[in-house]
Amino acid sequence: MNRRAPLAGLLLASTLSLLGSRMTMIALPWLVLVSTGSAAKTGLVGAAELVPYVLACALGGPVIDKIGGRRISVVADLLSLVVVGAIPLLHRSGGLGLPVLMVLVAVAGLLRGFGDTAKRGAMFPQVVAKSGVEMTRAATLVDGTSRAAGLIGGILAGPLIVWFGDAADVLLLDAVSFGLCALLVGLLVRVPGKADRAAEPYGVALRGGLAYLRGDRLVLGLILMLFVTNMLDQGFSAVLVPLWARDIFGTPVGIGLVGGSFGLGAVLGNIAFGFLAPRLPRWALFSVGFLIAGAPRFFFLAFGAPAWSIVVLGLIDGVAIAAVNPILSAVMYERVPEHLQARVQGLGTAVAFAGMPLGALAAGWLGEYGAQLALIVCGVAYLLATLAPFVGKFWREMDRRPAPVVTPELVAA
């Protein structure tokens, strides 16, 4: 087998899974919003998925180290095929009430937490090392394929909802993507075992990851910043944008207008960053990029900016954010020891994503008082969070480029 085949297989599998998940991120909130008319219930369903996801990320690292990332990934994706596929089937039969939906999305979130940690934490660094691809460029490639999947999924979701006539049917495509992901990983991805580490007690392994996170100010600062921004991003995408699309556009196509322009800009920016990454200053790109891509979109929607300006802003925001995830990943790769990768990835992702259920709930609650108020409050909070890298000298350590040490990626929403 070609030495880069496992990396190609993992990238393709992750891209297909992300494509399906992105469509579900649009279709599921729209389904709840039009079925119940309640922004609060829409946020509640979003939180029901994210809480188990965060718990799986936080506690799953040592389990994945012991059982193996490839095995966990395949099993989690196969079970996700069944669970996600059950949602539209039950909806058609009239058996999908809100409590049943919340249980299904909670199980789906738990499975996705294990699957994502297995792919990003356990397998990705190993297949990159085996492929011989330079880690920063590999991180940029991952971010680029993720952005492309988000772009395509964001563009397709709205028209597919209209075409199918029911948002629930779009989830069937997500279910199929999980099955394809399991097949690709099972056939193409081969990673070495970790027999020596498998004997490490669960509690010891978990404490080792926690000790590292507490001891590195930059890593901890990045994770805490992502806690806030991911929380606000989740509220924005899961509740506020669908609410805005319903009230202003009267159709889910408006959701694609926001997400599609942002995704296109991110893909274009990622291509450029892939060539320029080794020569550009990390701290400046990360800090300024996050500042540009964060708060302005909230204010544009809140104050009724015309559609063309929302598209232009989405393109600018996408280009600005394109460097953020690769820089974040590269910093993490260089600082965290390889043997801590799965547990640090899991714990770090758990902290970074822990605010997302709160974001969905808070946006749903604020949305009951009007989309404009909710967008303004969340925009101000986002602005404050993205000013953090300008406070404290330790943030400048991003620009240090030691010899890379493999570790997983954390992803900003």
- Average pLDDT over the chain, rounded to an integer: 81
Query: What band does 275 get if pLDDT is binned at 50, 70 and 90?
Result: low
- Beta-carbon contacts of 148 under 8 Å, excluding residues fewer than 6 positions away, are 15, 263, 267
The SS3 call for residue 281 is: coil
What is the per-residue pLDDT for 380?
95
pLDDT over 70, % of the chain: 88
Model confidence pLDDT, tens digit, residues 91-104: 888 878 888 999 99
Read off the pLDDT of residues 22-63 as tens digits, 9 standing for 90 and up: 888 888 888 888 888 887 788 788 778 878 888 888 787 778
For residue 1, what pLDDT is reported?
Answer: 55
Question: In whole angstroms, how far apart are CA 115 and each of 202, 227, 391?
Answer: 19, 20, 35
> Can you state the angle between helices 253-276 and 307-321, rounded to 10 degrees?
30
C-alpha distances (whole Å) from 321 to each of 247, 264, 341, 400 are: 28, 11, 25, 21
**Between residues 31 and 251, the one the model is more confident about:** 31
Residue of higher predicted confidence among 53 and 307: 53
pLDDT tens for 176-214 read: 999 999 999 888 887 665 544 445 677 777 777 778 778
